Chain A
Amino acid sequence: AQTVTQSQPEMSVQEAETVTLSCTYDTSENNYYLFWYKQPPSRQMILVIRQEAYKQQNATENRFSVNFQKAAKSFSLKISDSQLGDTAMYFCAARIQGAQKLVFGQGTRLTINP
């Protein structure tokens, strides 16, 4: 079975600081995709960034970047120059060939303080 684990239930940083959220996953498959989703209080999940397992280069989207370590099955999210609007729950998710379903971690509640 595929599992996704987020070991940080909560994190808090000051505005403009950089923060890194951790995620590990477990799969025996070789072809899969990894995602970070943001869930603000409105409850709607919003895609932040995605990473293809076959790509060695880490994905970046403006202030958001990932550190993908395939051998270690690690997929962390780095938020640079954090903003108040980044306050939300962040979920790591994996979509694995064959199973196809999107499996989520438990989430990290991130608070950006002014």
Chain B
Amino acid sequence: EAGVVQSPRYKIIEKKQPVAFWCNPISGHNTLYWYRQNLGQGPELLIRYENEEAVDDSQLPKDRFSAERLKGVDSTLKIQPAELGDSAVYLCASSFGALNTEAFFGQGTRLTVV
């Protein structure tokens, strides 16, 4: 069974440019998370989807970040325009069902803004 797939794995852009990250969760997983992980720190939740509905986006900087999850499957996270402080690893995860189920993570996208 394929795991959570993210692309690209690495991205280098100049500040003020737009960037997008893509995530394909595990088939059948209704919950999808986007996390940002700064160097040497733990992941911080940006947005959580239950199917196609964003149920927790309180930590998403809405002035420059946007996300969508079409048809409750794949998801895209966009930054426009990117700032130097956006350099981080962006992790996507998915899970199914109850509170005790683990979240499965992709390998992340390392974004460098120069």
Q: Interface on A for B, CB 8 Å cutoff?
A: 4, 6, 31-33, 35, 37, 42-47, 50, 52, 91, 95, 97, 99-107
Contact = CB atoms under 8 A, between A and B. Distances in A.
B99 A31 contact: yes
Contacts of A99: 56
Interface of B: 31, 33, 35, 40-45, 48, 55-56, 89, 91, 93, 99-100, 102-103, 105-108, 110
A106 B31 CA distance: 23
Contacts of A44: 105-108
Contact of B100 (A50, A91, A105, A107): A50
Contacts of B40: 107
B34 to A, nearest CB: 11
Contacts of A106: 41-42
Given A45-B93, A100-B56, A101-B45, A95 B33 contact: no
Nearest to A31: B99
B99 A91 contact: no
